[in-house]
Amino acid sequence: MYGVQIAFRNFVATKGFWNSQWVGLSHFIRFFKSYYFWTLIRNTVAISVYSLVLGFPLPIILALALNEIKNGKFKKITQTVTYAPYFISVVVMCGMIIAFLSPTTGIVNKMLGLFGIEPIAFLSNSSMFRSIYVLSGVWQNTGWGSIIYLAALSGVSMELHEAAIVEGASRLQRIIHINIPHIVPTMTILLILSAGGIMSVGHEKILLLQNALNGETSEVISTYVYKVGLVNAQYSFSTAVGLFNSVVNLILLAIVNLFAAKVGETSLW
């Protein structure tokens, strides 16, 4: 963290962290004024919000559905299978995405072909990048994300359900009035954490899926930091961009947390 100070200096390797020239906020100002600034912000936020809208409710629905099922074997198989993709490495995952979506050999286009749809070059199309990124993420993480809700649901006492049955409550009523309230604290905590991360989209997966043709929507702050910093060796400027990102994240987290503490009873600290 000591190294963060180079965001305010013109870092020169031979002079070291401490002796490089102090330039104040000029790197930040340059970034705010740069042509890329709004594109980067828009891409980053769009991808996060899209992921959040799909990726947040699906694990909850999966957990609630699994919780209703009493059939041991089917339940177990579904759990085992849906957790599995979480363990696939990001490189293999992206390899699969590229292979499946290939316009000439990919299975997705072959299937679309059955319906008479012309092959689509998914990854060369910047308007589809977000969907590819988010949907593959949903495919990989939904099962794993449901574990925490299942664990919370297992804490609902049977007596509560039995009492509700005696009172004539339907399954849906029991889900709405017993199960969902029980997992609300867990939901809140996870929502706070993901809202805090809305400005941070990881570079690892995007760098693997990125190409010149989808760059328009696939370039986010973290990939920009990597390119400007390590590829173009503009150390100080890149650090400033990264620092700006961290600060915004922290502020967002604090705001959402404050809001959650006011509205509900749950908060991080």
* DSSP category for residue 3: G
Instruction: Report if residue 56 touches another protein, rule: CB under 8 A.
Output: no
Angle, vertex CA 101, rays to CA 103 and CA 199, nearest 5: 130
Binding letters toward another protein, positions 7-46, x by CB under 8 A: ----x-x---x-----------------------------
Distance CA 1, CA 200 (A): 18
Of the candidates 102, 125, 126, 194, which one interacts with another protein according to CB under 8 A? Answer: 102
Q: Does residue 209 contact residue 94 with C-beta atoms inside 8 Å?
A: yes
CA nearest to 54, candidates 155, 151, 194, 239: 194
Instruction: Report if residue 78 touches another protein, rule: CB under 8 A.
Output: yes
Instruction: Report if residue 264 touches another protein, rule: CB under 8 A.
Output: no
CA nearest to 6, candidates 248, 237, 247: 237
Instruction: Report if residue 184 touches another protein, rule: CB under 8 A.
Output: no
Q: Which stretch binds another protein (CB under 8 A): 20-28, 29-37, 125-133, 233-241?
A: 233-241
Q: Which stretch binds another protein (CB under 8 A): 20-28, 45-53, 73-81, 125-133?
A: 73-81
Of the candidates 41, 52, 54, 121, which one interacts with another protein according to CB under 8 A? Answer: 121
Closer CB to another protein, residue 150 or residue 180?
150
CA nearest to 136, candidates 149, 122, 120: 122
